Amino acid sequence: MSRINNLTHIKLFFVGLFYGSVFVTGKIVASYLPPFTTAFLRFFIALFFLVLFFLVMYGKLPSINLRQIPLILFLGITGIAANNFFLFLGLKFISASRASMIASLNPAVTAILSNLIFKEKLGK
């Protein structure tokens, strides 16, 4: 049990490390490359390792049906491509620390706006 717990903590450490490093490395890369190129390269490299992971772990890629393709494309364009394009575009103009603060405040701002606009209740 302790080994599983330690492994979980190690994984969580690396999640924080990789996510937090996006802003600093993004600031550096954004000064050399256009935002779209930076976003594309980031996820092209991630795609390579994700495909490699699935092939090693499962021997195949996950299957999707044709009805899922439009939704996957829409979510990929808005949630991944546009989000990262605007992140790297913003990093051309503001510091990495400010960008990380904006990104970390997004869930709280979304909850507050949902309360104000849609009258959703705020939980603890």
pLDDT per residue as tens digits for the range 51-71: 999 999 999 998 989 999 999
Confirm whether 109 is domain-assigned.
yes
Distance (Å, whole) CA 113 – CA 116: 5
Confirm whether 96 is domain-assigned.
yes
Whether this prediction's pTM lies above 0.85 is answered by: no
Number of domain units in the chain: 1
Supply φ then ψ for residue 40, to 5 degrees. -60, -50
What pLDDT does residue 103 have? Answer: 87
Confirm whether 97 is domain-assigned.
yes
**Tens-place pLDDT, residues 30-45:** 889 999 999 889 888 9
Distance (Å, whole) CA 15 – CA 121: 30
Confirm whether 124 is domain-assigned.
no
Distance (Å, whole) CA 121 – CA 34: 41
Confirm whether 71 is domain-assigned.
yes
> Which residues constitute the domain of residue 38?
2-118
